[in-house]
Each structure stands twice: as C-alpha cells, then as structure tokens.
Structure 1
Amino acid sequence: MSPSQANNFSNPAFLPRVSVIVPIYNGEADLPDLLNCLRLQTYPTHLVEYLLVDNNSSDHTGPLIASAGEGFRHLSENQIQSSYAARNTGIRAATGNILAFTDADCRPNPNWLNTLIQPFVKENVGIVAGEIEALAGETLLEKYASRQDTLSQKHTLAHPFCPYGQTANLAIRRQVLEEVGLFRPYLTTGGDADICWRILRQTHWQLEFAPDAIVQHRHRSTLRQLRSQWRRYGESNKYLHELHGIDLMRELTAKEYLYRLSRWLLKELPAASVKASLGKAGLADLLSTPLDLFCFQARTTGQREANLAEKAREIEQFIQP
C-alpha cells in the first residue's frame, strides 16, 4: 500500500465537510482539464463543494463555470482585481469546515483532497500544504523549471523567516480564518505567505505538510512568462518586507554575477557538454546558470520597482453575508 493510500484509511471516520475554492481569471483554456480533475476526486461527493470564483474574466470563463454541473458553484468577484479578493469571496460563501485552495492552471490528483485533509485530524493543525509538481513540459524553459523544482512547496516550507504554503495547494481550517481574518484583498502577490505567517506567528495553530496530496502545475514556457513570474517573486519580497519587517531582498552583486558566469563558462558548461554528448544531459542542463541569472535579475527588478499600496495593508475580516 502506498503512503497516500495509507493516509486514506488512517482515520475513515474523519470526513469533514470541505469547500474547494478556485479563483479564476480568463481561464477558459484551463477550465476543462481542471473541472475533470475535480470530478475525479475520491473524497465523498456529498461532503465537498467546489466554489469557482470568476475574477472579472473577459473570455468564456463565466459560461464554462455556469455549465460545470452539479457540485460546482459559480461565484463572481468583479470589484477587486486580485486572486486574494476572489478567494475571500469563495471563503465567505463556503459551508465547509476545511477550506482548500488551488488554481485554475493546476491539476489535482484524484486522491488530492483525501490526503490533504488527513492532518486536520490533529486538533492543533490549522494549515496543511500539499505538494506541487510540474506538468510534463517539452520546452527548454519548462524543463529548466522542472529541473529546479521551482514550484515545489519544499522551498516555501523551508523559508528562513517562517514556513508557508502556496495557495496552489493549501488548506486552512475555517476556525483559523475566523480568528486572524482573510486574505488581504488588495494584495496582488505574496498573500499566501502573509496569511500563513499571520496564522503561525499570532496564534497557536500549526502547519503540516502532506507530500502525497499532489497537484500538478504548468511551468512557464516563454522567456516573457518566466520573467513575469520571477518579477512577481521580487514584488512579493518587497511587499512582505514592508508588511512583516523582514529583509528578503538580497541582490547579487556585479562581482557575484561575474563569478557565476565565469564558473559556468570554465567549469559547468564543459562538464555539461560532455554529459550531453553521452546523452546524459540536455539543453536545460547546459543553460541552467544563465537562466538562473536571468531569473535573479527579474526578481531584482520586481523588488526595486514594487510599491505597496496603502489599501494592500488591509485585512478583510471573516463576516459572512
């Protein structure tokens, strides 16, 4: 029996009502696959609801959600353009004791919910993070991101300030949000770290990792998309620096850049070229360091240019309509 199968039967009586909340902006290309993954969940259907929140999409997202069928609720957040505001709309409408979050471009495994909620059997667990793996990709940049495990929760769970889970695969106990409030609705990035840090640093609730609760996520496939991703990471660093008073914004010096490039040219590239000639390395291995530096530079730009709006400091309270 696999670890995930064992988790399913570790406490068969523990089956709380779960609300799955998905913020969606212009997600028509992703919705069919996402909906199929949610329909295949092995969690008892009468104990789960799927809240799909259209965040002012301009494509066919709305009609696709409306036609999703039984078990799916179509909600809208048209006032604030932010995935966190959309998640708050879902939270306010939710009926579950456990609130699980994923994104439109994610593909949860069938056993995702079963495994994700099991740690909540412990009464002191307020947050559970599942693992995020890459969907199979063919482009150089997708292979590079897979090689780096860019999206894995292992990076955020090992954060030196305080661990956190990314909202692509996260569950929070309803009671916790009643205590600390919801996501900051005007924040555009970094909200997953912010809410986890508020919970872990202000309350007694604990975070656990459920490595077998897996969602797959698509990596960026173009340089423009990769730059945008890492620029957002930099913006997140700046916002969290201002919100929590911590220094997350180390930048590579010119000397460090030169050293990394020289090491790549003189040592890493020749070694990777030999492996490539033997069929043991690919283009992503050859270009790993230049792509690392490209990402670092994008993150630095995000850190330098981000400006936290005063409204982004606001925390929405858990008041149901």
Structure 2
Amino acid sequence: MTGPVDVDLPDGFQVQIDPRCARKGDLHHLVGGSPTRVMRLSDAALGMTSADGRIAVHDASTRVLARTLLDSGIGLPRPMQGPSTDEVTVVIPVRGNQSGVDALLTALRGLRVIVVDDGSPEPIRADGEGVRLIRFDENRGPAAARNAGVAAAETDFVAFLDSDTLPVSDWLTMLLAHFSDPKIAIVAPRVIGRRIRGRGATVAKYANAHSSLDMGPNEAPVVPGSPKPYVPSAAMVVRRSAFLGFDESLRVAEDVDLCWRTHEAGWRVYYDPVAQVRHDHRESLRRLLDRHRYYGTGAAHLASRHGPTAAPVMSSLTMFAGVVALLTRTRIGLLVAAVIGLRAVYKTRGLLTGVPGRDVIAARAVGRGFGFGLLQAAQALLRHYWPVTLVVAVVWPSFRRLVWQLALAEGVVSWFRSEVLESRVTRVGPVGFVLMRRLDDLAYGTGLWQGALSHASLGALRPKLTV
C-alpha cells in the first residue's frame, strides 16, 4: 500500500488557524504545532485569510496555504461536507457480549453493519436489516475480526465500534466530513465513559472518566511522539483504500501499530473530540488493573516494530539534564537548571526574530518544556521504571522522599487538569484520584516489564534522548 497520490483539498474546504498559535490575534506570526514551529504568513497569505483566521479553499493558492497549515498542525480542518453514511459499513468485533451487540445494533439502525463473532462460547445473534454476521469457530483476536469485517465490506469507508460502545448522535456524520481531505486515512472520535447513576464508587468513576481510551478534549493530528500519538480502535473510521490492515499477530496495541504505520506511509490520522462514543468502563478494581497490566505488555511489541518511537521518555539531552538537575533539589542543581533554561530561552528567542513579544514567547515555551519534562520524569519513575524506583528508594532515604513528593505532586496536578479544568460531571475526589492513578501506574508498569522480559529486550524501557 502506497501513500496518498491526489492530495488536493476540494473547493469549499476550510482551515481554521488554531487561536493558540496566534498571540494576541497576530495572524502574521504563528507559533505552534507539534513539533513547535514558527510560521510567518506573507501579506498575500493574509489576504486569503479572514479576520478570525479562516481560509476557504477556492483556487490553487488557497489550496497550498490550507495544506501547509494542516501539515504543520497550526491549522485545524473545518470541512464543510463529506461522504454520506450510505458509503460506510460499521464493523463490530465481539466475543461473548450479546447484550452489547443488541444495544449497539439498535443505535446503528439504518446503517450497514457487519458483526464478527470472534469465537464466542455462546454464538452471537445479529438480526436486522442491513446486518451481516461472520462467525469464527475459534478466537482469533480483535485484529483478525476487524480485518475480516473490512474484507467483507463493500463500501469505501469502514467504521469500527467495539461491542461495549454506544455512539452519540451525529458522530458518524462529523467524522466522515474529514474524509473530504484526500490525505485522511483514519479519523477517531472521543471515547468517553457512560453516565453513572448516583454517586458511584471511586473505582467506577475513575475507570469511567480516566480511561486510556479517552484521548482528551483537544482536537489534533495524530502523530507518533506528539501529544496525540495514536487513537484507539474501539471507535474509529478508516478509508478502505488507505487501510493497511491490523497486524493479526498482535492481541494488544494493534491500534497503535496501525496508526504509526499509516503515518509512516504518508497518510494523515486525525482526532476529533466533537464526535463522541460512550464506552462501558465500569468494572472491578482487579479487572481494571489487570486490563491496564495487559495494555502495558504491548509496549514491547511496539518497540520491536517501531524502535525508539515507542520510548517511554522522549527529550532533548539538554532538557533532560535540566530536569534531572531540578530533581536533585540542591542549590547546584537549581543553578545548572537555570543556566540550561537561560540558554534555551536565548536559542528560542533567536528563532523568533521579528516576532512581536518574542522574549515572553520564548520564556513561556521553555517554562512549558521544563514543566512537561518534570511531569514526564515523574510518570517515568512512577509508571515505567517503578521496580527500579522502588529498589533505589529502599536504600536511599532522600530519593525515597523525592518519590513520595512526586507521587503526590503529579497526582494532584493531573487531577486538577482533568477534573477541574475540564469541569467533569462525574467527579473523582483528589484522594481517590491520586490513589487510583498510582495503582494504575503499578499495573501498567508491571505489564511493561512483563513484556520486556518475555521478549528478552529492554527496547520498551530505553529512553530516546536527542542532541
């Protein structure tokens, strides 16, 4: 499978400049994207742009400008129309969840649907107009089930929905619009928890509101190593002509692998949280932690296929040194971090020549870099490397104090960002959140080490530090 050939955006397609990239509304100088870059719009480009930063494609020049903004991550797609729902087949892989299939088929009435029974002990029933059932005699895994569904589909687009999901109204129409961009191969909605009646237990509320399937409230292109490195296959729509197929040898992380291979082939993957699908995350603490342990084992598979793209820590060598210096909590460490920070501000400032307010922009960028680095370090110590962290903490009292402080600080910061800033309806209290997050880390880290040992490779644990 090759990459996209026809990359022209159609007339009427619109691109919105991300307001976060235009400081004080200055559209001439744009700073943002992932990785962060500086873009200067010419007077001619500004003439194609509305006062609120929107470009409507109608000729060759606007087509080039819109594509450049999209590829940089500074522009957000605002397609006006896309394929109809008649051009989509929904594929539901399932093993032993008849009630989930029944509820989902009711929600999907009027659409083409293929249910793939992946060796359920009690055969799945799937009745209804436009519904087709494929049954495997033995369990072959979700990757094989999804691939079989795509092979049986006759439409240009295929939507994957797990049997424990329920889409929110108009989800499919919202996602299909993105395929008016011929470079788009995969689009995914936000996967949120189902509503919990009453107060609910802490475990249920945490699983519902902080699932690893929920990629957050911000739309973004999906790029390895970025804040949106993949989207889950529990809910996604693919262009059949760009579909590379799930790796059937994988029972976990097959969706991450697909996203990364699709990106490497030159196609675009996009995450649009305006479209939403609800997922039933409620389960016991034991099942929740065991599932996250299982997810952790997938890191070794990804490392063997994608190398440093699957690294648990990604940082420049200088920023890594600055973060380590801060974590020493010594005067010398603080001095070293200050020197590294000032040097980074100076270099960043040089890249912003001609940009108004470049001193403030540079200082904020470096500050965010240190903040992200500290959070990444805390998560690495508490999640990916916790067995090593535990051993060192036992024999080194000052390091033990640091670990306790990081465990509390990272948990509180994450709680504030997710529970307060997002104004969630189903609130998890700070104490319950921090406790569940630390248990979550232990479970995932256990799976990660389990996968590394079974593969006899530390690739999934090796950090990626660039010069």
Is 2:259 aligned against 1:200? no
Is 2:301 aligned against 1:239? yes
Q: In 1, distance between residues paired with 2:408 and 2:252?
A: 35
Is 2:177 aligned against 1:118? yes
CA shift, 1:239, in A, is 1.2
Among 35, 38, 45, which residue is 2:105 paired with?
A: 35
Q: In 2, distance between residues paired with 1:26 and 1:268?
A: 36
CA shift, 1:158, in A, is 7.1
Q: In 1, distance between residues paired with 2:273 and 2:167?
A: 13
Structure 2: which amino acid aligns with 1:114? T
Q: TM-score, normalised by structure 2?
A: 0.54
Mapping 1:281-296, distance limit 5 Å:
284-296=429-441
Q: 2:275 matched to which residue of 1? A: 213
Q: Which segments of 5 or more consecutive residues in structure 1 lack a partner in the other structure? A: 1-6, 40-44, 273-280, 310-321
Structure showing greater radius of gyration is 2
CA shift, 1:9, in A, is 9.7
Q: 2:249 matched to which residue of 1? A: 186
Q: Which segments of 5 or more consecutive residues in structure 2 lack a partner in the other structure? A: 1-76, 313-383, 394-398, 416-425, 457-467
* 149-158 vs 17-26, greater mean Cα deviation: 149-158
Q: In 2, distance between residues paired with 1:14 and 1:298?
A: 42
CA shift, 1:173, in A, is 0.6
Q: TM-score, normalised by structure 1?
A: 0.76
Is 2:158 aligned against 1:99? yes
Mapping 1:113-192, distance limit 5 Å:
113-137=172-196, 138-148=200-210, 150-154=212-216, 157=222, 160=225, 163-177=229-243, 181-192=244-255
Q: In 2, distance between residues paired with 1:122 and 1:260?
A: 47
SS in 2 for 1:290: helix
SS in 1 for 2:234: helix
SS in 2 for 1:119: helix
Q: 2:91 matched to which residue of 1? A: 21
* 99-108 vs 23-32, greater mean Cα deviation: 23-32
CA shift, 1:212, in A, is 2.1
Q: For 1:106-130, what per-residue CA distance to the aligned partner results, in whole angstroms no more than 9, with x for missing partners?
A: 0111312111211001111111111
Q: In 1, distance between residues paired with 2:410 and 2:146?
A: 47
After the TM superposition, which segments of 4 or more aligned residues of structure 1 sit over 4 Å from their partners?
Answer: 12-16, 155-159, 256-269, 281-284
Is 2:286 aligned against 1:224? yes
CA RMSD of aligned residues (A): 3.3
Structure 1: which amino acid aligns with 2:136? E
8 Å Cα contact 2:93-2:116 kept in structure 1? yes
Greater length-normalized contact order (CA 8 Å, ≥ 6 residues apart): 1
8 Å Cα contact 1:200-1:206 kept in structure 2? yes
CA shift, 1:81, in A, is 2.4
